[in-house]
Chains A and B, each alone.
Chain A
Amino acid sequence: MSETTVIQNTNFNATVEYPDEAVRRASVDGTPETLTLETRNLSRAVSGKLLVNDISVQIPPGEVLAVVGPSGAGKSSFLRLLNRLDEPTGGSVLLNGTDYREIAPRELRRRVGMVMQTAWLFPGTVAANIAFGPRQRGEILTEEQIAALLNRVGLPGYQDRDVSNLSGGEAQRVSVARTLANAPEGLLLDEPTSALDEASARGIEELLLDIIQERRMTCVIVTHNRLQAARIASRTMVLESGGLVTIGPTKEVLHDH
């Protein structure tokens, strides 16, 4: 098997096939990930208004960093800068020490996946959505790979479902699977549960926590839910008016703020 490697998904006892490189980056056998995400004096201003103001933070491999703060604090703006959906007007982001402007945007976004508040699925089947990312690089996911990803997010047998018939929670699970199909080294979560009912939100949160831990992904989660931050993140940073107020161990930060 030259193109793919078979690995066991211990949680669901299903066989998952990933491309060799994907296995190296996103295996579920506990291999530590190696992505260090760092911002240096990261800023973004629009029409003279500073949305993100001079933020420097380093996120070591496998760490989950929560970003909290009031509405308008710049949390989502900060997150969008991390995979360059928006352009910084000052400072930069480094991936393992390399300025991300030296990395092709499409490759950067594959390496640093993003799950948005809304699933934003593309019209069509669940399988087509999951295959979307790899297809952009000319990689074709097999039916087994798609089935394994759906098993992993708790949607076995959903391959042929039309996305218009999914509930909010199911759609968000497909969105997570679609992001994982790219085998990212880092994961950006932009309020991934805030648009869901409580039961769905808790299910998605548990799923994300499992995936982050088993893949040891470097992760940044924006949340307005402090309890969620406490459950998921080892460190938390507080933003206000685009600026960094404090950063530290989640328990201490949430206790002090």
Chain B
Amino acid sequence: MITELLNHLSGNLAMGLAQAAGAIVLCAAVVIACRRFGVHVEREAAISIARGLVQMVLVGIVLAVLLHGSLLVGALILLLMTVAAAVTAARRARDIDGSTLLSFWAIAAGSGVVLTGMLATGALQTSVTMLVPVGSMIIANAMNACAQAAERFRADVAANVGQVEAGLALGADPAVTVAPYVRSAVYASLLPRLDMLKSLGLVWIPGVMAGMMVSGADPVYAGIYQFVIVAMILSASGIAGLVMTLLMRARAFSPAAQLTLRPRLRVPSAQ
């Protein structure tokens, strides 16, 4: 397997590196253009580009090694991806204790339900080459939805502490006092995916369809399958956003119905 991998790499490595270099040059040009307008993203862009390249090379190597792995191997890879996604999404909910665990459950719920459904209905095959790329798309979108919901909920509650506490002071259940912010958080997490579904085929032709067509699949079937994938992405995102918001809501209050989620920069004041 290793020999096969090395042969494969040597054949394509030079071309891949040349293409990557071209992409990096274009990115660098954009960064320089941004700099002219006072937008300084040099360091962040350099780190992002370096990380992206290294990560994708590593993923390629791992996938090449695991090409013929079992469903168990694929599930393990997806589990690790979910953990990484949870760590990333949790950064948007730093004010909440245990935010990484909350993110994990939210992303796992969204992507787990959808992937299980797809496997059960045969919409997704159990081979690693299918399961991991499709699963990663769903997990990545669930991660984004989770982060967007967390950020929106945190920001809305922090901006409306007075109204939330006015509700509490009137004897309202904590869930009632933050109900508008739960709704807006879930909506905010769904909106990009809804736009994605609306613009499917009109504004963009996603990678799965493009890849299937390049591989010789029927374009109509490729289009329908792409729709299935994006619809599943929407479902996973909705579940992840909803679960994350509800978990955050539960953590935003103490057992005595006191609001514990406060603005990030708020300094305790005696007045």
- A11 part of interface (Cβ distance < 8 Å): no
CA distance A113 to B167 in the complex (A): 11
Contact A47–B162 (Cβ < 8 Å): no
Contact A106–B173 (Cβ < 8 Å): yes
- B170 part of interface (Cβ distance < 8 Å): yes
Given the interface contacts A72-B269, A77-B270, does A114 sit within 8 Å of B256 by beta carbon? no
Q: How far is the CB of B120 from chain A (nearest CB, A)?
A: 43
Total A-B contacts with CB atoms under 8 angstroms apart: 85
- A216 part of interface (Cβ distance < 8 Å): no
* Stretch in contact with the other chain, from A2-10, A21-29, A83-91, A147-155: A83-91
CA distance A137 to B171 in the complex (A): 8
Query: How many residues on chain B are close to A (CB under 8 Å)?
Result: 21
- A200 part of interface (Cβ distance < 8 Å): no
Contact A51–B270 (Cβ < 8 Å): yes
Q: How far is the CB of A49 from chain B (nearest CB, A)?
A: 7
- A92 part of interface (Cβ distance < 8 Å): no
Q: Which residues of B contact A74 (CB under 8 A)?
A: 270-271
> Out of A84, A109, A116, A242, which one reaches B270, CB within 8 Å?
A242
CA distance A242 to B259 in the complex (A): 22
CA distance A13 to B14 in the complex (A): 92
Given the interface contacts A109-B170, A109-B171, does A86 sit within 8 Å of B268 by beta carbon? no
Contact A84–B172 (Cβ < 8 Å): no
- B9 part of interface (Cβ distance < 8 Å): no
* Beta-carbon nearest neighbor of B162 in chain A: A120
- B54 part of interface (Cβ distance < 8 Å): no
Contact B256–A87 (Cβ < 8 Å): yes
Q: How far is the CB of A111 from chain B (nearest CB, A)?
A: 9
Q: Which residues of A contact B170 (CB under 8 A)?
A: 109-110, 113, 132-133, 136, 178-179, 182
- B258 part of interface (Cβ distance < 8 Å): yes
Q: Which residues of A contact B258 (CB under 8 A)?
A: 84-87, 105
Q: Which residues of A contact B256 (CB under 8 A)?
A: 84, 87, 101, 105
* Beta-carbon nearest neighbor of A50 in chain B: B270
Q: Which residues of B contact A113 (CB under 8 A)?
A: 169-170
Given the interface contacts A72-B271, A73-B270, A74-B271, does A136 sit within 8 Å of B171 by beta carbon? yes
- B250 part of interface (Cβ distance < 8 Å): no
Q: Which residues between 242 and 271 of chain B lie within 8 Å of chain A, taking CB atoms? A: 254, 256-259, 268-271
Contact A75–B271 (Cβ < 8 Å): yes
CA distance A87 to B162 in the complex (A): 17
How does the 8 Å CB contact mask read for B148-192 relative to A, with 1 for contact and 0 for none? 000000000000001101111111110010000000000000000
CA distance A104 to B183 in the complex (A): 27
CA distance A49 to B256 in the complex (A): 22
Given the interface contacts A51-B270, A242-B270, does A106 sit within 8 Å of B169 by beta carbon? no
Contact B269–A107 (Cβ < 8 Å): no
> Out of B171, B259, B270, which one reaches A72, CB within 8 Å?
B270
Q: Which residues of A contact B254 (CB under 8 A)?
A: 87
Given the interface contacts A87-B256, A116-B162, does A132 sit within 8 Å of B172 by beta carbon? yes
Contact A120–B166 (Cβ < 8 Å): yes
- A96 part of interface (Cβ distance < 8 Å): no
Q: Which residues of B contact A116 (CB under 8 A)?
A: 162, 165-166, 169
Contact B271–A106 (Cβ < 8 Å): no
CA distance A76 to B168 in the complex (A): 16
Q: Which 4 A-B pairs have the closest CB atoms?
A: A120-B166, A110-B171, A46-B268, A133-B170
- Seed contacts A105-B257, A179-B170; 15 additional CB < 8 Å A-B pairs: A51-B269, A73-B270, A85-B258, A105-B258, A109-B169, A110-B171, A120-B163, A120-B166, A122-B163, A132-B172, A136-B172, A136-B173, A137-B171, A175-B166, A178-B170
27 of the cross-chain contacts (CB-CB < 8 Å) are: A47-B268, A51-B269, A51-B270, A52-B270, A73-B270, A73-B271, A74-B270, A77-B269, A77-B270, A83-B169, A85-B259, A86-B258, A87-B258, A101-B256, A109-B169, A110-B170, A110-B171, A113-B170, A116-B162, A116-B166, A122-B163, A122-B166, A133-B170, A136-B173, A136-B176, A175-B166, A182-B171
Which residues of A pack against B, CB within 8 Å?
A: 46-47, 49, 51-52, 71-77, 83-87, 101, 105-107, 109-110, 113-114, 116, 118, 120-122, 132-133, 136-137, 175, 178-179, 182, 241-242
